[in-house]
Amino acid sequence: NGKLVGDAFSGLLNVAQNEFLRRQKEMSNMLAAGSPRYDMNPMFEVAEGEYTPTVEWDAPFTVLTLPGLKIETDLLQAFLWDLSVKQGSDVVVVIARTVYKNGEDIPITDEGVSLNDHFPVIVRTYLVSGIQNTFSRRVSIAQVAIDHAMKRQAAKQIGEIMFTLDREVALGRDDSIYDFYGLDTRHGVNRVSSDGDEL
């Protein structure tokens, strides 16, 4: 009986070792191949607007943003692919430096309190879908996702990629309703007077 148990255990170890080697080879091949093309296997979907559309896409990440955001697609595709391969599902929120077209940095938060309405956030798509059961507004979904990620140390801030937001395009929307935490205030909105000066 002891020999039978030993033989069975040895067989299981061989199976486990072969499976490990197979996965290791697949991972090496994947790394060697590099990031897939965006048009073939997109790593992200861009969801624009004040209210995020209901998730119906398969891309693993979603960029939550106002209209007018310029994205270096190839760079972001490669970064998110690399992140997924090397860190798996550990990171659920990604933050990238964002500026207006004139080079002015857009702060992440409005006076250190709430998420700046103009700041884009990259969130795992499954998390966006889950939050949409409660919230529909883009900035609310992004804020909840960031809170979730910070508590679990699952957020990553990157410096390799920079987004550019066209302020004029971003301002051309209805921002009169804020549903996050029931607040009726206008956080993070840069207002422009009729003569073009920022208020």
pLDDT tens, residue order, the chain (199 aa): 555 655 666 666 667 666 645 554 554 555 455 789 999 999 999 999 999 999 999 999 999 999 999 999 999 999 999 998 877 668 999 999 999 999 999 999 987 678 999 999 999 999 999 999 999 999 999 999 999 999 999 999 888 788 999 999 998 844 434 444 444 333 333 323 333 333 3
- Residue 198's DSSP bridge partners are 192
Q: What is the pTM of this model?
A: 0.71
* Residue 103, both tokens: 């080079």
> Which letter does DSSP use for residue 49 in this model?
S
Identify any residues that bridge with 115 across adjacent strands, giving them in sequence order.
109
